[in-house]
Amino acid sequence: MNDLGFLIFVAAIGLLWSRTMRYTVWFLAAEGLILSLMVWTSSPLTWLTFLVGLATLAIKTGLIPGLIHRLMRTLPAEFRQDYPLPLWAYAIAVLVILAVGHVIHLLAPTGIIEHVLLFFYALSTIHVGLVMIVARRHLLAQIASLVAIENGLVVLAVSLAGALPTFVELGMLVDLGIAITLMVWMSHLFHHEYQTTDVVALQRLRG
């Protein structure tokens, strides 16, 4: 399971590094596939866990990357890449990842962490997603950041409790699917109205 957590973290780093939306779609799909494998291996495989893993695969490997890819294909070529990431974003990403070690040191005596290495990968993934939200300017990159953070939260829950209750996992999947569908639709309207994918242009909406 630690290996799967490491792959989730690597995919998050890939999202931070990548400017091309096509690569962003692939990294998100990879995270969805890895999370499905984690669902199937983190607890004894029953028909219920199999269905949860299958739902994770369908939503996080199929639906969400598919919606982002479909919107990306409708954009002109010049809008299929994000702006270069500022150097300070990489520096902050390194600092917050290093800070996770301090968090583990503080929480270790409480016994709340069941899988220390998995906790490190999960919290680092969440931090990288937060850095992306601050540093990235492309609409689709912002959506990918939110999905990456949610993926990190799922792994974090596994590192603390061993596995999430089934109803919680299904609820999160449904909520995420609906939220991302609405965000992709709103992104399409935003680009149609303002002819840009730069979230900085949202400042124009201030009253």
Relative orientation angle of helices 116-135 and 87-107, to the nearest 10 degrees: 150
pLDDT at 206: 56
**pLDDT (tens digit, 0 to 9) for every residue of the chain, 207 residues total?**
789 999 999 999 999 988 899 999 999 999 999 999 988 887 777 888 888 889 889 999 999 999 999 988 888 888 888 888 888 989 999 999 999 988 888 888 888 888 899 999 999 999 999 999 988 888 889 889 999 999 998 888 888 866 666 656 677 777 788 888 888 888 888 777 777 887 777 666 555
pLDDT at 44: 76
pLDDT at 30: 95
| 3 state SS of 15 | helix
Distance CA 112, CA 136 (A): 33
Q: Which residues of 100-115 are buried (b: 16+ CB within 10 A; e: fewer)?
A: beeeeeeeeeeeebeb
pLDDT at 2: 86
pLDDT at 131: 93
pLDDT at 128: 94
